[in-house]
Amino acid sequence: MPRLAASLVLSTTPLATQVELVRRLEAGGFDRVFFGEAWREPVVPMTAALLGTSTVGVGSAISQIYPVHPVVVAQQAAQLDELAPGRFSLGLGLGASFVVERWFGVPYDRPLRRAREFADVVRGVLASPEDGPFTYSGKLFSVTRYRLPFAETAVRVPVHLAAVGPAMQTLAGEVADGVVVGALHSERTMEQTLARLGRGAARRGRTLDDLTIWYYLACCVSTDPDRARAMARRSLVYLAQYPHYRAVYAEEGFAAEAETIAQLVRQKEMDRAEREVTDEMIGRFAIAGTVAECRDQLRRYAGYPGVPVLHLIPFRMDEAEVQESFRLAAELAR
């Protein structure tokens, strides 16, 4: 069985319950638990998770970079590392344009430049206790003689970038310690991703061996396999709303289905949208079934590079079912 990670993106689930899930995954042998920024910001849940556990890695995957300043994010990362040295990782991403502009009122402009400069500033601030006051003059960000006041040595937090498109994947290979490659992929798209990451890494005299690769995988575990597949359908419907994931569907031969699903979602015809998700799509893009069935399905990823990140988006389902899926998923790493 490969190494496993999990991602919690929950809305109404109390923080205490989320920490209990992280403990369950830790006891099950999971490498890392990520918190995504969707309905909650991730810093408070990550703090609670780090304080409530002792060995499992905890990270953001991802924190959105548009509504915040990189100096503040670097301060947060340094303090999370102070709470649990060596267990925290910082995942940064652009987010979806309609979310950035609608929720935060920030223009979604120059994404590659913003991601590059953001990572530069975070790294500079984290290194400032040893390298001295950090100064940076970019096209989007500027910093003058800033030094972390509460750290005596450089803070060594891995910085990961979420990267789905070709240019972003190349940038991640160049500037990041690792990459989160998205929630939909196949052997063919993974080969393309590795080539882009390799080109970016080469710009800095690095290789793919210098990068940690995380790939999200929709996973629905239940004592009722039919219910597990129904929840998988809902996660795949949710992903079809996003243009970059529709492109992956299309590349794998499901262009018509993905466009139909997205159109039905826009029309709020959710039941019809779910019926458009075929069994072949579930088999290609998700893990779904009982613990034994999911463990067997995971074996097809044994040759993939990196670590699968099991996730289940609480889209049109009770979060109690999502919680139960993760409790059962904790058995998969054993």
Residue 54: what pLDDT?
98
Look up residue 54 and give its amino acid. Answer: S
Task: For residue 286, list its beta bridge partners.
Answer: 218
Q: What is the pTM of this model?
A: 0.94
* Per-residue CA distances from 131 to 23, 72, 145, 287 (Å): 37, 19, 11, 46
Please say whether the beta carbons of 31 and 4 come within 8 A.
yes
DSSP 8-state class, residue 141: -
Neighbours of 272 (CB within 10 A): 14
**Token couple for 126:** 């984290």
In the chain (334 residues long), the average pLDDT of successive 10-residue segments reads: 88 97 98 95 98 98 96 98 98 91 94 98 98 98 98 97 94 97 86 96 96 96 96 94 87 94 96 96 96 95 92 92 97 89
Residue 1: the pLDDT is 54
